[in-house]
């Protein structure tokens, strides 16, 4: 929630950036774009959902670049399925 609180308080433009690994170890290409989702919403749930949507867009654009072993959502409410557990569907 810290990110959303900072965005709300400062009212500054929010950008998201990522480094795309180039083939054969030739370095990285940096990408930046302005966030269009309401990451500075006063409602922390709305702000966090918006931030997660922005991250999803980056991952969807270059799924092979995402570090899938990163456990971003390690704590879940009771009863939620483990998103990293393999199922018969995939």
Question: What spatial distance separates the first Cα and last Cα of the chain, rounded to whole Å?
Answer: 31
What are the Cα distances from residue 14, in Å, to 24, 37, 51, 79?
Answer: 32, 9, 10, 34
pLDDT digits (tens, 9 = 90+) for 8-28: 888 888 888 989 999 988 999
Task: Take residue 65 and report the two structure tokens written for it.
Answer: 């670049």
Identify the domain containing residue 20 by its residue range: 2-65
Q: pTM of the entire structure?
A: 0.63
Q: Is residue 86 part of a domain?
A: no
Q: Is residue 79 part of a domain?
A: no
Q: Is residue 7 part of a domain?
A: yes
Q: Is residue 81 part of a domain?
A: no
Tally of domains within the chain: 1
pLDDT digits (tens, 9 = 90+) for 28-60: 999 998 988 888 888 888 988 998 898 888 888
pLDDT over 90, % of the chain: 9
């Amino acid at each position: 929630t810290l990110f959303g609180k900072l965005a709300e308080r400062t009212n500054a433009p929010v950008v998201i950036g990522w480094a795309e690994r180039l083939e054969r170890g030739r370095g990285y290409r940096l990408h930046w774009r302005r966030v269009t989702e309401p990451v500075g919403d006063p409602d922390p749930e709305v702000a966090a959902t918006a931030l997660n949507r922005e991250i999803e867009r980056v991952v969807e654009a270059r799924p092979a670049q995402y570090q899938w072993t990163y456990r971003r959502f390690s704590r879940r409410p009771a009863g939620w399925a483990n998103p990293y557990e393999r199922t018969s569907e995939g």
